[in-house]
Structure formats: structure tokens, C-alpha cells
Amino acid sequence: MHNFRLLIVAFTSLLCVTDGCGRRRDLGALPKVIVLGVDGMDPAFVERHWDALPNLRALRDSGYFGRLRTTNPPQSPVAWSTFITGLDPDQHGIYDFVHRDPTTLSLFSSMSKTEDPKLVLPLGPYLLPLSSPRVFIPRDGTPFWRTLTEHGIPAIVQHMPVNYPPEAAGRGLSGMGTPDLLGTLGTFTFFTDDPIELARSVPGGRIVKAQISNGRATFAIEGPPNPLRKDHAVAAVAMTLDVDPVNNVARITFGDQAVLIHQGEWSGWLTANFTLIPHISSVHGMVRVFAKQLHPGLEIYLSPINFDPIAPAMPISSPAHWAAEIESDLGPYSTLGIPEDTSALRQEVLTLPEFREQARLVFAEEAKLLSYSLRQFKGGFMFFYFSSVDQNSHILWNKHEGELLKVYREVDDCIGAMRHEQPNAKLMIISDHGFTTFERAVHLNAWLSQRGFLRASVTPAADAGLEAVDWKSTDAYAVGLNGLYINLKGRERLGTVDPGKAKALLASLRDQLLAWRDPGNGRAVIETVTPTAPSSANRNAAPDLEVGYAAGYRASWQTALGQIPANLIEDNNDAWIGDHCVDPDVVPGVLFSSERIQPSSPRLQDVTAAVLKRFGIPPPVGYHGDVF
């Protein structure tokens, strides 16, 4: 699927990306509007800690603070797509992190899709593209900052989620959904000479056995499959580590770079150039190295391979040169959509203190980027996104309150600096959802199997997925973190449910799901079951039911991938202990405003309409609500 992702680099000169401000206005006559998106900021957490968050408290006292209604389901790609377009999920068509193709039953990320070149020319061992590959976001609706720029209003949009490839309007960097150089959402590598460790792939990464001889170890850093070769051989570069025989220090040699690193230390960004055709074509990436252990054994963590902002293999900014301009001012920075490596913590490659240090490095880059963006902002609109609260909340929620408060305080400090830098700007702070505990993992497909709605062709097991479903005897299945689908004739490739019987089936599923009780404690597993009402364009993408789990429960990781474990519910023993993919009423977001406003039960799409209103522009077509 990703074989030709990197070919886009050959066609960047054909892309038409401009500043987007067709009818420029006098900046002095324009209002200044800033929206700070703090993913996962929870209103109840803020209320418990007003004394430690003086800048948020000041906003509350002089302006407005309240709960912001999130989307159903309350997932980041869904919620931010609603903010981007001003539309609900049934209109914009993003329903989950994971979507399925009903004709092939293959799974894909909702945040972007890739279509390979339709024309290629075989030439010896190579495949030369004669047409351009295409990367696009499978979302309907118009990003609101495109509307702003069409009205002559400058816009800076930094790290907006679900904006990869970035909208060709205004200036900004892509955010959540931006892949690494492998085409994944982040794949780390862990090198170790531990004799009992096994080389293997793990969720979010890979474990590689290392050999050290006379103090030297040489690692093959695997990059992307080469899209220009018929065999798609993996492109790789070598990294050499020379370990001091006595001291806990080593020299890393990587291409023409040589740096010293101490045990327990993180390197800066190192560039990696992967050759596709010798002397003709290569792609550029960046990595960070963590020397977890140098003595007595060797343990080296390598970050996911980020795009190099100087020469990104894929479009990551608008205009295309914006990413390089930022790098020339700030130095190298992460370009991965979700840069905090929770996967390495969950796989016990990083300890909690090591993960927190990695997350602090990410936040330091975000804070520098915010300062840069504020200096660039002269008028019009600006959006800036923080990932830190969300990613740390997944790991710290309800168990490490003090550590999580440190993250909130860092964001609060940035808000203070922002108000000092731009005192006359109208500021809104929003989050896409809040948080709750994740105590019990629910295997929804196992429940469907036990109730006779789904039949597997093999004995249910943790790794049995949609390929193991007996579709001729299956009426319903689950994919993603909240979606439930019926096996509808005319839509699904092997549909069994007659459209005339779909309504009764959905009612039966709803009643039985709401009646489900956890046998371990008698609690309700599911709070809400909501039918979707998709537009005609989104009928094939939409799940039939959105399952709103009770606080403490969430769909299992296996359910998200359509798998069918044997058990119904299990304790969550993962390091990922906080979540929000539940009943949306359990996890509202926040809305702060520097203006005194009186919104009535505000929603994310109301914020979108409010931004447009500040510039005298009507709400998006399809928007329904009260603009504050």
C-alpha cells in the first residue's frame, strides 16, 4: 500500500501551493484571533488545580470557561475534523482512527490515504513512475482557514490534526496523521545485545539483536521499501557505535556526522539519507538516539524516522518552503504527527521516567515553535496545537496526578507567554475531548460471536481478524474503537443482511448492548448506542452504530483491528491507562475565551462558526447551531 508513498518527492515541483491570501487586507484593520488547541485538556482536571494554573484561571476570571461538547465518537480525528469543517461526522465522513473498505474489508487510517501511480515504466530492476502518486484526506467539507484566506485574511495553522497533506491555504505545518518515513504513524527501533531478547516486530516498533565486538557495534537503520525498485528492497543506512571500554560514553558515526553520547542521554537530531537510485535519487530523514545502556550490556533506542524539514520526502507544510524556513530559524524539529513515543513505553523499551524525558523534548520543540509562530503573526487568524496533555494523559491519568499537573503547568506557562506577546489578540483555548480511566478492555467482536451475530471460521483467538470471519453466517462486526457495522447486502462485499431487516437488527443490537453487564463487577459496560445518519457520500464509510462505553471501559486494541479474542472483557494491564473513546458525555472538552461570551452548551463546530463570525464570514454550509 505504501510502496509509492515517497514518489511524491519527485513531483513537488508540480504542486501549486501559495500563500492563499487572494484578496489581501490592511492587517492593521483586521482583528487578531488565536485558537490554541490543547488535545485532551480535561475540564475536571483543570478545576481541581486552578491554583497551579494561574493563566488559565485569569482567562476564566476575565473571560469565559466552560465545557465543550465533543463529537460522537470522541476521538481526535473525528473531533478535529468537526472543528476543521464546522460539520458533524455524518457530514465530513471521519468516524474513527480506523476505517474499513466495505468492498475489500481492508483497514486503513482515516487520517490519510495513498493511491499509487497508475502508470510506471519498468527499466531493468527499477520502476519509473510516469504519473504522480496521490495522498489525500478522505474527508468532506471545507477547512475553515481556506475560507478565511479566500476572503483575504492571513492564516497561520500550526500542527492542525488531520491536515496531512496540509491544506494549500495560509501558512502552517501538518499535524496528527503525518507519517514517518516508513509510511507508518511511528515505528521505533530498539537495538539490544541481551541474550534472552528475541528479534521481533512489536506494536509500534521492532526489536533488533545487536552484536558488539571490541567495543564497536554497527547497526543497519532500515528505511522505507524502495518504491523505485521492482523488488521494493528496503533502503538502509549504517550507524556505527564505538563504546568507551571504561566510561559510559560512546561515539555515534552516522554518515558524515559524529557525536558523543553518554549513557542515559538523548542525542540531537541526526540526518539519514536513504539511496533509492545511486547518484540519482534519495530520500532524507532524521532520527534521535537514546543511549539507554552502554555498560554492561548494550541497549540503544532509535526514534521513528522523521521527515527532514529541509528536504521532506512528502509535503508537510504550506507553502512547501515553510517547513525549511522554520528549521533555519529554530533548528531541526520533529515532523511526526504524534511525536511522543507511547508505543516504546507500552512495549517496556522505555521506562516511565525515560518516556517523560522524551515527551519533554517534544514539548520543548512545541514551545519554541509557538514562540516563533507568535513572532510571525501580524494579524488575521492563528491556530496552534499542543499534543502533550493528551499523550501524557494516556500514560499518567488518575495514577500520576502530580506528573500530569507538570504538563498542564507547562502549557499554562505558554499561555501566559502568548498573552504577553499578543495582548490584543482574541484568544480561545479548546480541547477536542477530556479523559477518563481505562480499566477494562472490551472485546466487542467476541461478544458479537457469543451472541450469534458473528461467526468465525476458526476458533476465536487474539490474532484472528476479519480474514477469519465466516461472512456467510455473520450479521454484524466491529472495527475501530467505537464503530459497529452490520453485514449489509449491497454494501459489504459478502453481505448477508437484507436492507429491509436492518432496522430490526440494529434495534436488537442496541437493546442487548445496553443490557450488557460486566460479570466481574455487575457494572454497565456500555452507556449509549447511537445510530449514524450519514450523508449519501458517506454511507459506505459510516458505521451503523456508535458504541459509547461507560467510564472505565473501552474497546480493546484487538477490537480496533477487527480481531476476535476468546474472552469478552479483560483487565487493562497496559501502560496506556487513560482514554476518551467512550460515551461522549463522559469526556467533554474545554472552552476558554478571553472575551466575555455566553454560549449555550457550546460544541466544537460552534467554535468554528465563531471564528468565521469574528471576521464577518457566515458559518459553513451545512452548519446548524447557535454562533456565539
pLDDT in tens, 448-504: 999 999 998 876 655 678 888 999 999 999 999 999 999 999 999 999 999 999 999
From 258, 274, 307, the end of a domain falls on: 307
Q: How far apart are CA 36 and CA 607, in angstroms?
A: 12
Q: Give the H/E segment covering residue 404.
A: helix 401-421
Most confident of 42-56, 191-205, 230-244, 265-279: 42-56
Burial class of residue 472 (count of CB atoms within 10 Å of its CB; 0-12, 13-18, 19+): exposed
**Is residue 174 domain-shared with residue 238, that is, in the same domain?**
no
Give the strand pairing for 155-160 and 171-174: parallel
**Is residue 474 domain-shared with residue 387, that is, in the same domain?**
no
Q: Does any domain span residue 432?
A: no
CB 37 within 8 A of CB 385: yes
How many angstroms from the chain centroid is the CA of residue 246?
A: 42
For the sheet with 205-209, list strands across it. 200-202, 205-209, 188-192, 299-302, 289-293
pLDDT band, very low/low/confident/very high, at 626 (cuts 50, 70, 90) = confident
C-alpha cell at 153: 485574511
Tell me what the mean pLDDT of segment 89-108 comes to.
95
CB 346 within 8 A of CB 203: yes
**Is residue 458 domain-shared with residue 399, that is, in the same domain?**
no
Beta bridge partners of 219: 239
Under DSSP, the state recorded for 553 is: E
From 242, 272, 307, the end of a domain falls on: 307
Please provide the average confidence, as pLDDT, over all residues in the chain: 92
Grid coordinates 550507524 are at which residue? 239
Burial class of residue 244 (count of CB atoms within 10 Å of its CB; 0-12, 13-18, 19+): middle
23 or 411, greater pLDDT: 411
Q: Residue 119 sits in which domain range? A: 5-179+315-425+591-614
> What pLDDT sits at residue 190?
97
C-alpha cell at 439: 480499566
Across 19-33, 147-161, 417-431, 566-580, least confident range? 19-33
Give the strand pairing for 249-254 and 257-262: antiparallel
Give which of 177, 171, 143, 142 is closest to 157, Cα–Cα: 171
| Residue 425 confidence (pLDDT) above 50 | yes
Dihedral sign (CA 436, 441, 447, 448): positive
582 or 8, greater pLDDT: 582
Question: CA-based angle 607:612:614, to the nearest 5?
Answer: 95
**Is residue 103 domain-shared with residue 235, that is, in the same domain?**
no
Under DSSP, the state recorded for 489 is: T
Dihedral sign (CA 83, 85, 90, 94): negative
**Is residue 215 domain-shared with residue 162, that is, in the same domain?**
no
Give which of 225, 221, 316, 229 is closest to 272, Cα–Cα: 221
Q: How far apart are CA 392 and CA 340, in angstroms?
A: 8
- The identity of residue 490, as a single letter, is G
**Is residue 577 domain-shared with residue 472, that is, in the same domain?**
yes
Give me the numbers of helices (H) and strands (E) for the chain, helices first please: 14, 34
> What pLDDT sits at residue 457?
80
Across 41-45, 134-138, 329-333, 391-395, least confident range? 134-138
pLDDT band, very low/low/confident/very high, at 27 (cuts 50, 70, 90) = low
**Is residue 581 domain-shared with residue 443, that is, in the same domain?**
yes
Torsion of CA 200, 202, 206, 212, to 10 degrees: -50
Tell me what the mean pLDDT of segment 161-180 comes to.
96
For 142-264, where are the E strands, in sequence order? 155-160, 171-174, 188-192, 200-202, 205-209, 216-225, 234-243, 249-254, 257-262
Tell me what the mean pLDDT of segment 340-358 comes to.
98
Q: Does any domain span residue 620?
A: no
**Is residue 272 domain-shared with residue 329, that is, in the same domain?**
no
C-alpha cell at 334: 520533529
Q: Does any domain span residue 619?
A: no
**Is residue 12 domain-shared with residue 112, that is, in the same domain?**
yes
Tell me what the mean pLDDT of segment 140-163 comes to.
97
Q: Does any domain span residue 202?
A: yes
C-alpha cell at 336: 511526526
The domain that holds 78 is classified in CATH as: 3.40.720
Specify the number of domains making up the chain.
3
From 265, 289, 307, the end of a domain falls on: 307
**Is residue 160 domain-shared with residue 266, that is, in the same domain?**
no
pLDDT band, very low/low/confident/very high, at 188 (cuts 50, 70, 90) = very high
Predicted TM-score (pTM) of this structure: 0.92
Q: Does any domain span residue 238?
A: yes
Largest Cα separation within the chain, whole Å, is: 76
Give which of 132, 145, 234, 147 is closest to 182, Cα–Cα: 234
**Percent over 70 (pLDDT), the chain:** 93
**Is residue 367 domain-shared with residue 302, that is, in the same domain?**
no
Q: Does any domain span residue 550?
A: yes
Q: Does any domain span residue 193?
A: yes
**Is residue 481 domain-shared with residue 547, that is, in the same domain?**
yes
